[in-house]
Chains A and B, each alone.
Chain A
Amino acid sequence: LAPWVPVVGLEIHAQISSNSKLFSGSQVQFAAPPNSLVSFFDASLPGTLPVLNRRCVEAAVMTGLALNCSINKKCLFDRKHYFYADLPAGYQITQQRVPIAVNGNLSYSLCIGNKMSQMVTRTVRIKQIQLEQDSGKSLHDDTRSQTLVDLNRAGVGLMEVVMEPDMCCGEEAAAAVRELQLILQTLGSSQAVMAEGQLRVDANVSVHHPGEPYGVRTEVKNINSIRYLAKAVDYEIQRQIEELENGGTILNETRAFDSKLGCTVPMRDKEGKQDYRFMPEPNLPPLILYDAKSLPANMNHQQVVNIDWIHERLPDLPSVKRAKLVEQYGILPEHSFILLNEDGLTEFFENVVRQTQMMPRKVIGWILNDLLSYLKQHSLTVKESPVSSSLLADLLNLLEKKEISAAAAKQVLAELWKGEGKTPLEIVKEKKLELIQDLKELEQICQAVIDGHENEVIMMVLG
């Protein structure tokens, strides 16, 4: 059987972290009373016009720069038409002809093999980033045969990040999205929490034989977590391979991922190819962005988005943060990945290092093997840890000064988890875990052991 080459591309919608919406002044907030965060424009009442929110433009420029994109100094807005109850205007304002950023790339890392120590770096090309409006929410009430519509989300700013089909499996897709999520959160351009719908991912999947043209692709939607993304992509790849090997064909359709069944199913309301009848948005002139060179002299500050100004103020991206941790503390790259992956863990680690004489290289073991595994077992976040960085630092100091053994330290830690407010020193004294430093005392103990086990000693001496 000829081998199959799976091809995976992603369209990611990230909700922009802003106070108000992309084209109107109503508030952006998760979970509010239905239709309470809706302006006349969001409800598409006649006579209303879009007014662009500068913060949303800055968020898109930041994200474009972080993904090594070219920022288009002139970009355009368009209308994408389709009918749905949660799209009151009958069209979405988006950027189809000339989006705000193009031609970037994202590097992410994967563990190959079972050991975490075998990490490889992959790159995925970013085709473009475009600004667009989010739609409202539909709640389907099948029993009463109706749809309830809440427009709170209608008009919220989105950045659509289009990733080229450079990935080949669920694991790569998941790793790429995770890295994008960390970047967005570091920039603050989106909080990117998938569970709150701030980060939505659609996967485009196809398979073909090496050397042959790309196969028909399907679009997979309704993926609600990074774990499900990997599952959905891998399932769809398998489904297509099986279908083709059984002599079937792949339809260019949209499918939904069913997390309960772990499979993809054709989506209703998406039969047949859509014709969106794109047209320029007549109410919005082109968006002009400036840099230090092109900035006109007497322009109102408030009306200017300066790409260079934004570039200078970009925070350290995750990849830079990781490299700095490795250099500063002598830890391994894979350690830096775990540190950045857990909210608050890097801070915790650095706090412990600051308060102890133990080498960071050794501290990291306690952080990753002991602290983190305990937190995971009990589904706690770093912030909820019953053991503070100071307590752990105290414990590690006792170990470093050789007042207790490593085994004893683990015992003390187990006690500390109970969160009873005792200090490590108190627990050591309570459980008599101090290391005996007196040579004479140690000799006496060894002699007593030898005396008490005559037979075993003879066996040992005889070899």
Chain B
Amino acid sequence: PKVTAEVLAHLEHLALVDFRDAEGVERLQKAIQFADQLQEVNTDGVEPMDSVLEDRCLYLREDDVTEGNCAKELLKNAREKVEEYFVAPPGNIPLPKLDEQETSLQGS
């Protein structure tokens, strides 16, 4: 199956990954082909396993306050801060639309 420009744009939008050039798209295509080999396994009547932890016991914690009160430490990681708040750009920055992306791909 070929990776269309729409699918590519959708993936880039979701994962915030820039596939940038033809080589990137080719690598993506190969990765999909590699993963598609899973389809060859017959899983009829087999319960899906969604976690290797499925037979472990999920530990339950007591409802006690044991952490927090480390605003200073946490904010050390912030490039920008305003009075103990983290600073982020206003809302989600929209990615360039599909047409603009195609032009940039052709350019590289």
Contacts and interface: CB of A to CB of B under 8 A. Distances in A.
Interface stretch (A31-39, A160-168, A220-228, A318-326): A31-39
Interface in B79-97: 82-92
A70 interface: no
A45 B65 CA distance: 19
Interface stretch (A53-61, A390-398, A402-410): A53-61
A27 B65 CA distance: 5
Contacts of A19: 63-65
Interface in B58-74: 58-71, 74
Nearest to B55: A285
A25 to B, nearest CB: 4
A38 B69 CA distance: 7
Interface in A57-109: 57, 76, 81, 83-85
A269 B89 CA distance: 13
A275 B53 CA distance: 27
Interface stretch (A116-124, A145-153, A189-197): A145-153
B30 interface: no
Interface residues of A, number: 57
Contacts of A45: 77
Contacts of B64: 19-20, 25
B57 interface: yes
B75 interface: yes
B63 A55 contact: yes
A76 B50 contact: yes
Contact of B90 (A25, A37, A145, A275): A145
Contact of A268 (B50, B60, B91): B91
A280 B50 contact: yes
A147 B92 CA distance: 10
Interface string A100-140: 00000000000000000000000000000000000000111
A51 B85 CA distance: 26
Interface in B31-60: 50-51, 53-60
A371 to B, nearest CB: 39
Interface in B16-36: 16
A377 interface: no
29 contacts: A18-B63, A19-B65, A20-B61, A25-B61, A33-B84, A36-B69, A36-B71, A40-B70, A53-B61, A54-B60, A54-B63, A81-B14, A85-B86, A146-B82, A146-B88, A147-B91, A148-B88, A150-B85, A151-B86, A280-B50, A282-B51, A282-B53, A285-B55, A285-B57, A285-B58, A287-B58, A288-B57, A302-B62, A305-B60
Shortest beta-carbon contacts, A-B, top 10: A25-B66, A85-B88, A55-B63, A26-B68, A39-B67, A148-B85, A54-B60, A285-B53, A280-B50, A149-B86
A226 to B, nearest CB: 29
A145 B61 CA distance: 41
Nearest to B73: A40
A45 B73 CA distance: 12
B3 to A, nearest CB: 16
A43 interface: yes
A301 B50 CA distance: 28
A40 B90 CA distance: 24
Given A52-B60, A286-B54, A147 B89 contact: yes
Contacts of B53: 282-285
A148 B89 CA distance: 9
A35 B75 contact: yes
Q: Which of B60, B88, B89 has the most CB of A within 10 A?
A: B60
A277 interface: yes
Given A35-B71, A35-B85, A147-B89, A20 B65 contact: yes
A447 interface: no
A146 B68 contact: no
Given A38-B74, A51-B61, 4 more contacts: A52-B58, A83-B92, A146-B88, A302-B62
B68 A38 contact: yes
Contacts of A138: 88
